[in-house]
Structure 1
């Protein structure tokens, strides 16, 4: 055996989309339902574990064998779930992901769309989504279903047979994708990058649970206070409603088509009195920093860590990693001089002190997001960042001398690009500084063909 193609169906009461596969598989009620596989592109076999069938021992052994390719679409899901099933971590080496393979060629990231684009003779079964919802997620208890919270195969035998066919078809489609793409192999070093990515995601990162929990509590307290103040000032039932607030503003002589972050910031520059106060409250109420804390809380596994924060080739046109769940590639910066003191107040849930010391608690919580990630005991984080690394490498690869010279002089590459584009000098926070953003967009967008 050189290769095995795999697709599985599972059950967990944890919401996969909200928590990611690691927390999903970490759920106490996680269960492997179906194991579909084919060896060396042979016929597909489906093991129905709900009926007492067993995965052959030699197949279990293959899962740990780095010399045999394990191929799956979104292989991380199969590998993490099967790790839970076998009781130990399956190392990524030897696992190939046909979604990653497709992404390297700029193809879509869903099995159905890839099958359609490639014109495969067998397509993903469209009814499968409903079958997954029926068997793989909890159901709402009703009189009609005798108040059960989960659907088992015996509740709908016909659907279960369709579900097994769906599992079989997914293996077949995955194999056909692999065979279609054989002429465009992924370089070995890129698979090694994928395995490294999987190691990073498997390791995860530790979360300060007390800080996260109390940050959410603090946000809720201040959110309620801000909302109550806004109600008293406006007389509105829900001043957080854009429609209601726009009507109220119009009654105050302020007409606006939008209450976006930028629009509110602009209005704050030209308003005074109660209107200004209400808009400032609107700004505080719309602060979404707590969402990242909530994402951490939902995704955190029993080991106190969040996993699966990066998706390899998540941006399939450029090959860049994509942030998932907490979006660690887009964390607010912190510039507070008393960051440690503020962090301790939030961690202890000291609401009165926060209210007394800080004008904007949501801003404090936003700046503390990075500090919710903590090293393991007796370890330290060392933070480093490459400066304009993509632009530098692309300038070198393309042998574009003026860009290389710009970097050698330690110039701002976005200003330099904008200056070349518009034929005028561009200085950050200076002359024609507004053009810098256009230079940045061009620099980041046009480096890839």
Structure 2
């Protein structure tokens, strides 16, 4: 079965099956038409399919009259930041983030540096489906220009936003694994600006991922081993476009990606109290942290676009997801892995505590994450059938199916990035969390065969 995921912020699929140059050019033409010949930034991660999709995207945008500022290999949050800095009309980031090497995607970014919202995304999709692309004459074709110097612009701003002096004085030794993705080598510049000793792992931008580019404990063993050998203070795992981060403590404990948001919120809300945005699949840790700070929590659908739109609607001070994604609107309206790592280092420096000590201060839950492949033609009906399991329970249907009680919850939803059903369960008891997840997994498994 050929897999293609079309959403409000872009298109994603398997290279050579659904993600092919013709489709990429059509979507890029639709976006260029939407931008109405405005300047557009283009960047990509290091996947081996990147150069092919990059050239197709450039050609399409130029054909619609857009001038292209070519960032080459560049993390998505830096592209998002530079859209506003350069006053561009938008951007295209060519990356599949946490997906494995066979996947790639086009992510469309608006003039505010955020993923397209629902209305903008629908307008681009309408243009794509109608096939009514702007086609300019030779003398109106856009031009492509390679851009440099943007790393200093971004990292100087980040350094100013953080308490960089406290970080530098702490003389941290930091292990970072960018998984040979867009963050490779750029983490060196990050370390130089914040003044810590960097111990890089998988730091070659060659497009071959040594493990799944998803920041989770199962992919963190190499970082954990290095931390123990070099006696580092903390370790970070990044996805391929540096929008997600998970942590490894100084004792080698590989921490769930669920800790990233509540760890930062527990510090940031002391200085900047206000509304917190998260989603229905994230740990209750963030709700407990926010409640302790007397800050309201609002839940959005899963995905950066929905989170950031909720931030704008609710004037929130922080947003994030249990995937290791964090956004601080006072810096930029984007999930930003460099900002996330910088804030973790600031917390360690200002509170003079180890990661293991900071994590111990957070409420502990046990979360189980399962997924099961399902044909796209049946995926929504299968998820809807899960309601039968909970006929006598209160069901939240905002984003899939969620049922919760005093001790925990289970959430069932369709994936926004792959043809699969995700099942996430949490409880104070590890056994009960597993029981919640397995009940749904068994029910769904019988219906997708």
Q: Same fold (TM over 0.5)?
A: no
Q: TM-score, normalised by structure 1?
A: 0.27
Larger Cα-atom Rg: 1
Structure (1/2) with the larger strand percentage? 2
